[in-house]
Amino acid sequence: MTADKRVQVSVLGLGAMGSALAEALVQAGHDTTVWNRTPAKAEALAARGATAAATAGDAVRAAPLVIACLLDHASVHEVLDPLTGDLAGRTLVNVTTTSPAQSRELAEWAAAAGIAYLDGGIMAVPQMIGKSGSSILYSGSAEVFEEYRQVLDLWGASTYFGDDAGLASLYDLALLAGMYVMFAGFMHGAAMVAPAGVTARQFAGLAAPWLSAMTGTLDGYAQVIDGGDYTVEGQQSLEFSSLDDILAASSAQGISTEVVDMVQTLIRRQIDAGHGKEAFPRIIESIR
């Protein structure tokens, strides 16, 4: 890396994710300062070339670009509120998981203090940082995103959603919602087959390719939803989508039906409203 492309950057928070972000910066040759409440967590990074700061204030003063990867919204304020004077004129990229409202509040706080602010949502686990499949969603200052794009891209594919600082968080949490419900569905299936002597790992071998194949239907569902016409041909109807057999089999296996009950409720609500002949994507109207 040429000297003019090296960036002075400080990372606040060295949990599993913060450490992975800092490690990528060190490996890329950036002048990286790190800080954590528990100093021992900085030792491994210091051994690889990072500078361990004794205090959060020392870390902030060490670089024009500050990355916050802390526990939650409250911890961001707890660490940074006393340092607004030091942060003034610097850039803060906050990748702490926050709600859209909290991200917007932080952007307003930063603007009032003269801090350039970019909010980020990390769509990866720590082991994925810097590897294929890792992506980071950003919103807030376009100037910050463009100025530090080469740094941000070290962690994963960077996508910018505009100057509304809450949008990255909104997309992040919406994507996580889909992930967690999918995981819950997998675990329900694993519980169903367990009494038959099937291990979760054996079931995963069947579930993974099946679920992967089914993601190919998302674009078609999205077109129906965006078009607002649920009578479109070629889509499975709500009446045909009844989950009664799944519920009966689950009960027979002696397991909870809560996960499937939730989907069946969404379906039943639309059928009861007279939309049974319409397409399955109509359950979004139950959610809305």
- pLDDT tens, residue by residue, 72-113: 999 999 999 999 999 999 999 999 999 999 999 999 999 999
In a domain, 114, yes or no: yes
Same domain, 147 and 250: no
In a domain, 171, yes or no: no
In a domain, 191, yes or no: no
Same domain, 272 and 203: yes
Same domain, 145 and 207: no
Choosing from 149, 165, 181, the residue where a domain stops is: 165
Same domain, 23 and 70: yes
Res 3: pLDDT: 43
The DSSP letter of residue 95 is -
Res 136: pLDDT: 98
Residue 136 to residue 124: CA distance in whole angstroms: 8
Same domain, 214 and 267: yes
Q: In what order do the strands lie in the sheet with 31-35?
A: 51-52, 31-35, 8-12, 65-68, 91-94, 116-123, 135-140, 157-160
Assess contact for 34 and 14: CB atoms under 8 A.
yes
Same domain, 161 and 25: yes
Rounded to two decimals, the pTM is: 0.92
Same domain, 157 and 246: no
Query: What's the mean pLDDT in 188-199?
Result: 98
Helix or strand run (H / E) with residue 135 = strand 135-140
Cα dihedral 213, 215, 221, 222 in deg (nearest 10): -140
Statement: residue 1 has pLDDT above 90:
no
In a domain, 190, yes or no: no
User: How many domains are there within the chain?
Assistant: 2
E strands within 235-277? Answer: none
- Read off the pLDDT band of 4 (50, 70, 90): low
Statement: residue 206 has pLDDT above 60:
yes
Domain of 233, in residue numbers? 199-287
Query: What's the mean pLDDT in 246-262?
Result: 98
Query: What's the mean pLDDT in 109-130?
Result: 98
Same domain, 104 and 232: no
Mean pLDDT score across all residues of the chain: 96
In a domain, 193, yes or no: no
Q: Can you give the CATH number for the domain in which 34 is found?
A: 3.40.50.720
In a domain, 175, yes or no: no
Same domain, 22 and 133: yes
- Read off the pLDDT band of 2 (50, 70, 90): very low
Same domain, 12 and 152: yes
Same domain, 151 and 216: no
In a domain, 189, yes or no: no
Choosing from 165, 186, 211, the residue where a domain stops is: 165
Q: Can you give the CATH number for the domain in which 269 is found?
A: 1.10.1040.10
Choosing from 165, 187, 207, the residue where a domain stops is: 165
Q: Which of 209-215's residues contact partners 24+ apart within 8 Å by CB, and which partners?
A: 211/182, 211/186
In a domain, 8, yes or no: yes
Distant-in-sequence, close-in-space partners of 259: CB < 8 Å, separation ≥ 6: 184, 185, 187, 188
